[in-house]
Amino acid sequence: MAYLYNNPSDFADELTAGFAAAYPRWVRQVPGGVVRAATPKPGTVAVITGGGSGHYPAFAGLVGPGMAHGAAMGNIFASPSAQQVHAVAKAAQAGGGVLLTYGNYAGDVLNFNQAQERLIAEGIRTVTVAVTDDISSAPASESHKRRGIAGDLAVFKVAGACADAGHDLDEVSRMAALANSRTRSFGIAFSGCTLPGSTAALFTVPEGKMAVGMGIHGEPGIREEDLPTADQAAELLVCSLLEEAVQEPRGSRVGLILNGLGAVKSEELFVVYRRIAELLEEAGITVVDPEIGEMVTSFQMAGVSLSLLWLNDELEHYWKAPASTPAYRKGAVEEADEAAVVPVTAQEPTREALPPSSETSRRVAARVHDILQAVKNVIDANVEELGRIDSVAGDGDHGIGMQRGAAAAVEAAAEALNRGAGARTLLVFSGDAWAHRAGGTSGALWGMILNTLGERLGDQDAPSAPAVAGAIRDAGRKIMEFGKAQLGDKTLVDVLVPFAEALGHEVAAGKPLSAAWSDAAVVAQESADATATLIPKMGRARPLAEKSLGTPDAGAVSMALIIRTVADRLTTKESIND
């Protein structure tokens, strides 16, 4: 349990500020996260990592010479927004291009990919390598679907060392991809973790049992076994990884990471490592520079993971290379000149000028603000239930993320309204704020939805019912394009697409928007309920698919809730196109 915090919604921002204040020798705070304090050499490749907060020393603690050049820091267990990733990359890049590398989670993929598109559009060459080391999260035949856990460290270490050696982006990304392809991890847990402000753990493990194959966001394991001794735990970890050995074990050399997830401390890890070392020696494997301690944590989760990086000559050179970060030291790196350290200065946020809007569109914007406030209220009222649904097979943070996003959207809408924004501008600002504040998959998707609605409605004309129906249809298409989810994957797409089709049908039949939306909302609710019979094929719930049978998808439930709330607002007041 996290004992020391103020407002839970401010936790990530406050820890970032405190971290940067504590380690000015290594890092400086920038919008979205932190970057190296020292100015990089011109032409250097910038290695940018990031993810949800709550995993320290990943990700900010691994920024410094020999490792990452910057880290985008999302909310607790939620991916950073595309805006955060873009801002950190822009602050760290030095003309040699950008490598984005992060754990392979749906929200991270969405947000880092959007940031990559923006960087490329701005003329900054950018390549992505997602870390996929966790063997418990997908079979070897679908290794591209695996999530990234403590093996992140191996990939970041190799990429950072290669970049600092002066290699170009092609070589840095090649080495990062090679390190990822030769890294395997497996973990176990004995108890769950509790987020700041929460009173219950994200998951629990029965007394005397352990969860096998747990994730670092509170995802439950793939099975439960009796609580092991330290030697039995070592044997399970080693045997599981050797079943997927990258090459013939005898004669191999490996980098090794024995990682504590927060509540298992170094003394216990040394007891476990004693047996791991014996087992690897018996298998004919030489361990090179083992790393034992807390590398990728999950608050106070009681758990441990083992990662093996199967080395060749190239990888061993970078694995052994010097590094110096707030949380990771190896060898001796060249100290930066004090003159090269960029001073931390306060930056006043700039407010972009609003595009022109008509009086009609401004009236519609006021209605949209009213609807967003109602959406926030219904999310606030259901935040615990949404979290409970999400915790069945996920990490339990869907309600909190939606709450943060809705609150940010309302705040941005109010500011835009006060400045005289039209409907398009207000929706775009609200969508950007939702995506930025919520982070994660739901933040990215709801940001897309509001942005798509805004682009279709414009800042001049009153939106017609066909225009609104078309915008909803476009939002569904865009989410499937970017998020890769299809009907039947047990996501919010299973509500949004049927709702869009029903809304379009009702509008085509000549119904006004309020009546058409209300009728289509019935389809949305039925579709959300029907996701209880589906097995997830996307995101963090996929490895625990069977556990979710009988429970609807949290994203589908929140989508249906919001659709019903909008229907209520449209029927209690005049339609936004009246």
Averaged pLDDT, groups of 10, the chain, 578 residues long = 80 94 97 95 97 94 98 91 96 97 93 95 98 94 93 98 98 98 96 77 83 79 90 97 94 97 94 98 98 92 96 98 97 66 50 88 96 97 90 77 94 96 96 91 93 93 94 94 86 96 97 96 97 76 61 95 96 58
The pLDDT value given to residue 342: 56
The pLDDT value given to residue 397: 77
Distance separating alpha carbons of residues 443 and 492, to the nearest angstrom: 12
Structure token digits, residue 152: 């992140």
Are 49 and 68 in contact, with CB atoms under 8 Å apart? Answer: yes
Are 551 and 392 in contact, with CB atoms under 8 Å apart? Answer: yes
Structure token digits, residue 551: 């429970």
Structure token digits, residue 401: 């993320």
- By C-alpha distance, which of 44, 87, 37 is closest to 64? 37
Are 335 and 38 in contact, with CB atoms under 8 Å apart? Answer: no
The pLDDT value given to residue 353: 82
Are 480 and 449 in contact, with CB atoms under 8 Å apart? Answer: no
Q: Backbone phi, then psi, for 245, in 5-degree steps?
A: -55, 135
Structure token digits, residue 248: 């013939």
**Catalytic residue positions?**
217
Q: With residue 232 as reference, give the H or E element that holds it.
A: helix 230-242
Query: What's the gap between Cα 299 and its chain centre?
Result: 16
pTM of the predicted structure, to 2 decimals: 0.86
Distance separating alpha carbons of residues 31 and 84, to the nearest angstrom: 7
Are 157 and 325 in contact, with CB atoms under 8 Å apart? Answer: no
Superfamily holding 359-572: DhaL domain (1.25.40.340)
What spatial distance separates the first Cα and last Cα of the chain, rounded to whole Å?
Answer: 51
Kindly list the domain boundaries of the chain, sorted by start residue.
8-321, 359-572
Structure token digits, residue 318: 């970078």
19 prior amide bond cis, ω within 30: no
Distance separating alpha carbons of residues 413 and 419, to the nearest angstrom: 10
- By C-alpha distance, which of 407, 411, 423, 421 is closest to 352? 421
How would CATH label the architecture of 8-321? Answer: 3-Layer(aba) Sandwich (3.40)
